[in-house]
Amino acid sequence: MKNKEIISKLPYSKPFLFVDEIIKIDENGVEGTFTFDEKLDFYKGHFENHPVTPGVILTETMAQIGLVCLGIFLLDNNFNKNTSIALTSTNIEFMKPVFPNEKVTVFSEKVYFRFGKLKCKVSMKNEFGVVVCSGEIAGMIV
């Protein structure tokens, strides 16, 4: 399955699509990017005059790239309109802020995929290669 095809199968659309590109993907993990446009609504009022990307959005970005894109790849032809990947747990540590117009890269490594559950170690780096957040995310295929 090609990277653009995986992105087209994501159950999200703008402004809630947080995947610009899949750089690489295989059965063990995925690497992808997203740039946080300064015009995104959640920046309005989130730290007035000094906007910062909310942690829940950083978590969602890691989940979309690191869990859902990988799940679609792993399911390959078994992923269809009736298939979803539901988030079941997160454990994320935040180290640095992400500001408007920053491009981030998400790295995900599969911990396991069995009995319909996918668990991954994820990290997000800024353009300088500095880890801004990392942890684990898991989801169920439904």
- At residue 49, the pLDDT reads 82
- At residue 47, the pLDDT reads 79
| 56-97 pLDDT tens trace | 999 999 999 999 999 999 988 677 677 888 899 999 999 999
Q: Which of 9, 46, 119, 121 is catalytic?
A: 46
Distance CA 61, CA 43 (A): 15
| 11-47 pLDDT tens trace | 899 999 999 999 999 999 999 999 999 999 999 887 7
**Does the annotation mark 50 as catalytic?**
no
CA dihedral over 113, 135, 11, 32, signed as positive or negative:
negative
Our measurement of the distance from residue 91's CA atom to the centroid of its chain's CA atoms, rounded to an integer in Å, reads 14
Between the two ends of the chain, the Cα-to-Cα distance in Å is 20
Domains of the chain: 3-141 (3.10.129.10)
Q: Which amino acid is at 135?
A: G
